[in-house]
């Protein structure tokens, strides 16, 4: 038995049988040649086994574990004989027999064999190609994509009439494209996915490490960033170079500043993508102090006379009314610092949850998941609802005149609507995270210091609880 990394299965064992008493056969291996010789007065046979096993007393029929002989395009077993000398020409030529056992049957009952006399030697090496398709099957025959062991028999004249045969064999393998690759086990690489014999797939990897993949220099890649910063192009070193740099946000339906939010531009009235009209005074000045008089003219409250006329002298109403109309006094109640601070905190924490929805959706889509656009749409809708409620009921300015009826109204109804929107926002974000974990096969180990979706929701709820309990409201 010989162990050698250049052998199929890493091991080879040989058995010699002499047909004559006191007749010694020789079988030598060296220099890449197997030399078989018989004495002048004797005949015999030799069996060489490749089964990956060290036990010389038996054949382990599934010892190679299922090596694929066709992996590199092989269709035949190949034997190369460097020289052949027949002791008694014309009597009985030496016969080569190759038996290939299927790895699925450890008992050796399933195999295929090919037997052929060696043709006359003419001084040049003899190449014998034994097609897999011509092997004779026994017990169902061998699947040459799952070979368990190989046996080579050198058979001489069984009658002893042909003695002194000599044979030098230099190759036993297949006719595939990679004859120099000796598989040691079924997992050995004969030809890699790049078509390289004994390769490691590295010669045709794309920028994502996929053999023959499509992520090549000059093609699209995702930078992992948000908004317009997401799109990139692979350079010649497979670095993903960002195509577009962030710019200040504008109202165009695109995340221009790459922060995960779209169109987060607020006018002076606190309205997203507004035009300052919702809090403009009669001169069009946002949060301005001008009001209209009884005739529709615009001026400061202090410029209105007793008759309710801008710039009047109080005489226009003397004839029609014995009692001059009182000058309306108006005060513009702007949101307090406490109002603005509470609203800012709510906006910030709602935005954080909305951004998390988008982040998990972005990652889940890269893993092949679906259903994320609808979750992102739901999240954005609730986030916009929270912003609208704050702008309309908390951070808005209120004009109170002496002709108005003003009260300090409770904000509990607004807080209730905010909590309802916050709950829906949380559910969309949490579902986006759960889908991402499922689609990307993420194993969560947990962390005491890492916030959960519920933690972010509770932070938002606490911010809503800190809203002012009352807000002035006026009706004319």
* Distance spanning both ends of the chain, measured CA to CA: 109
Of the two residues 439 and 135, the one the predictor is more confident about is: 135
Long-range contacts formed by 283-289: CB under 8 A, 24+ apart = 287/332, 287/334, 287/397, 289/332
Among 189-203, 317-331, 356-370, 441-455, the minimum mean pLDDT is found in: 317-331
Model pLDDT, residue 423: 92
Say which residue, 448 or 59, is predicted with more confidence: 59
Element housing 249 (H / E): none
Residue intervals of the chain classified under CATH 1.20.120 are 332-440+452-475
**If DSSP codes are grouped into helix, strand and coil, which group holds residue 420?**
helix
What residue ranges of the chain are covered by domains with CATH 2.60.120?
A: 2-174
pLDDT in tens, 241-284: 999 999 998 888 888 888 888 887 888 877 788 888 877 888 88
CB atoms inside a 10 Å sphere around CB 305: 18
Which of the four pLDDT bands, split at 50, 70 and 90, describes residue 105?
Answer: very high
Average pLDDT value for residue range 307-322: 71
At residue 34, the pLDDT reads 87
Whole-angstrom distance, CA of residue 87 vs CA of residue 92: 9
d(CA 386, CA 454): 18
According to CATH, the topology of domain 2-174 is: Jelly Rolls (2.60.120)
Q: What is the pLDDT of residue 162?
A: 59
pLDDT band at 312 (very low <50, low <70, confident <90, very high): confident
Average pLDDT over residues 348-361: 89
Q: Given a cut of 70, is residue 3 above it in pLDDT? A: no
- How many CB atoms are located within 10 Å of the residue 310 CB? 19
pLDDT band of residue 106 (cuts 50, 70, 90) is very high
The pLDDT, as a whole number, for residue 448 is 58
In CATH, the number for domain 332-440+452-475 is: 1.20.120
Contact between 150 and 182 under an 8 Å Cβ cutoff? The reply is no
135 or 95: whose pLDDT is higher?
Answer: 135
Highest mean predicted confidence (pLDDT) among 35-49, 118-132, 165-179: 118-132
In contact, 354 and 421? CB cutoff 8 Å: no
In this prediction, residue 2 has a pLDDT band, given cuts at 50, 70 and 90, of: very low
Mapped onto helix, strand or coil, the DSSP state of residue 20 is coil
pLDDT in tens, 384-420: 898 888 888 887 776 666 666 666 777 888 889 999 9
- What pLDDT is stored for residue 22 in this prediction? 55
CB neighbour class for 413 (10 Å; exposed up to 12, middle 13-18, buried from 19): exposed
How many Å apart are CA 18 and CA 41, to the nearest integer? 11
Residue range 137-189, pLDDT digits in tens: 999 999 999 999 999 998 876 665 555 678 898 888 888 888 665 665 666 66
Distances (CA, A) of 329 to 61, 308, 333: 107, 10, 13
């Amino acid at each position: 038995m010989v162990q050698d990394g250049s052998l199929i299965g890493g091991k080879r064992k040989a058995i010699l049988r002499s047909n004559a008493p006191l007749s010694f056969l020789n079988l030598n291996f060296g220099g890449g040649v197997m030399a078989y010789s018989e004495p002048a007065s004797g005949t015999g046979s030799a069996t060489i086994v490749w089964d990956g096993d060290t036990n010389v007393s038996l054949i382990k029929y599934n010892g190679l574990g299922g090596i694929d002989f066709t992996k590199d395009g092989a269709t035949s077993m190949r034997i190369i004989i460097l020289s052949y000398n027949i002791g008694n020409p014309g009597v009985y030529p030496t016969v080569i027999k190759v038996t290939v056992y299927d790895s699925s049957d450890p008992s050796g009952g399933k195999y295929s064999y090919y037997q052929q006399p060696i043709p006359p030697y003419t001084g040049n090496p003899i190449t014998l190609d034994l097609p897999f398709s011509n092997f004779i099957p026994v017990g169902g025959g061998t699947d040459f994509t799952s070979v368990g062991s190989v046996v080579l028999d050198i058979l001489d004249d069984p009658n002893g009439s042909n003695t002194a045969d000599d044979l030098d064999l230099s190759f036993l393998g297949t006719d595939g494209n990679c004859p120099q690759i000796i598989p040691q086990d079924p997992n050995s690489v004969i030809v890699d996915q790049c078509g390289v014999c004994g390769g490691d797939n590295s010669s045709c990897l794309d920028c994502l490490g996929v053999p023959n993949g499509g992520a090549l220099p000059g093609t699209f890649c995702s930078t992992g960033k948000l908004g317009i910063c997401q799109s990139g192009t692979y350079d010649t070193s497979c670095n993903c170079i960002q195509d577009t740099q962030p710019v200040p946000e504008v109202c165009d339906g695109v995340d221009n500043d790459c922060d995960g939010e779209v169109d987060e531009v607020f006018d002076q009235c606190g309205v997203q993508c507004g035009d300052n009209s919702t809090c403009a005074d009669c001169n069009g000045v946002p949060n301005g102090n001008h009001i209209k008089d009884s005739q529709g003219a615009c001026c400061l409250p202090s410029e209105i006379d007793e008759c309710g006329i801008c710039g009047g002298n109080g005489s226009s109403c003397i004839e029609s009314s014995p009692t001059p109309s009182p000058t309306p006094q108006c005060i513009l109640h702007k949101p307090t610092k406490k109002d603005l601070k509470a609203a800012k905190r709510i906006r910030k924490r709602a935005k954080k949850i909305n951004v998390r929805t988008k982040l998990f959706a972005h990652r889940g889509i890269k893993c092949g998941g679906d259903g994320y656009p609808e979750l992102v749409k739901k999240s954005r809708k609730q986030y916009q609802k929270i912003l609208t409620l704050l702008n309309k009921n908390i951070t808005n300015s209120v004009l109170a005149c002496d002709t108005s009826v003003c009260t300090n109204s409770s904000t509990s109804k607004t807080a209730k609507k905010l909590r309802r929107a916050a709950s829906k926002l949380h559910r969309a974000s949490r579902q986006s995270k759960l889908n991402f974990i499922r689609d990307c096969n993420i194993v969560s180990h947990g962390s005491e210091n890492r916030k959960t979706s519920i933690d972010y929701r509770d932070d938002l709820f606490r911010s809503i609880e800190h809203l002012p309990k009352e807000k002035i409201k006026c009706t004319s």
